[in-house]
Amino acid sequence: MSVFTRLPQDVLQYVINPYLKTRDRAAFNAVLKPNERIYRKIPKDYAIIHDIETKKTLYEGMMRRLNYYMKLHDLDYETSKKRALIKAELSKKIYAFLCDPLNAVCFAHVEGLKEKMITSVREDLTETMDFYYYLPDKGAELRALAQATLAVIESRPFLRRIHFAKRVYLYL
């Protein structure tokens, strides 16, 4: 028997419980009788929202690095070649990220994301990037990866919009 079992149910539910975090609430409920436990359900979309926000953070980090290298202009050929290889590796990582089946949740629940990514990948296919000149295959491998990524993105369905997902955007 604990001190909490002597308190009225209203005090437990409205005075103490609102200030507890998830772990504290679990410990709090452990000392109560089963019929006195207080349950606070987590909305089902919170896990999806958390997953989307986590993937957004990863994607933004990769894009920040790629944009940094895209803005740099080199004076000599060797430095340009090294940076072009870095840009190519970052582009490959981004294409792999977009093709990863675990990231399909973003396309399924963020409205308009699929169209933005298709537009962005098509730009990579049509434009001739400056750094392609420095690559051994002149960008043929990156174009093939972009084509494969485009096919994967186009195959991803949009299921439904999550209410809180409107604040989560991915930009390419």
Q: Is the pLDDT of residue 9 over 70?
A: no
pLDDT, tens digit, 9 for 90 and up, residues 14-67? 777 777 777 777 777 777 777 767 666 667 788 888 888 889 899 999 989 888
CA atoms within 13 A on the CB side of 12: 20
Mean of all residue pLDDT scores within the chain: 79
Can you tell me the mean pLDDT for 99-117?
88
pTM above 0.75, yes or no: no
Angle at alpha carbon of residue 2, lines to 4 and 29, rounded to 5° = 60
Least confident of 33-37, 91-95, 152-156, 164-168: 164-168
Query: What residues have CB less than 8 Å from 131, skipping those under 6 apart?
Result: 70, 80, 83, 84, 87, 88, 139
Query: What residues have CB less than 8 Å from 138, skipping those under 6 apart?
Result: 132
Q: Describe the crossing of helices 77-99 and 140-155 by its angle, rounded to 10 degrees.
A: 20
Q: Would you state the pLDDT for residue 159?
A: 85
CA atoms of 98 and 103, how far apart (whole Å): 7
Q: What are the boundaries of each domain within the chain? A: 3-36, 45-167
Is there a contact between 113 and 104 (Cβ–Cβ < 8 Å)?
A: no
Can you tell me the mean pLDDT for 7-11?
68
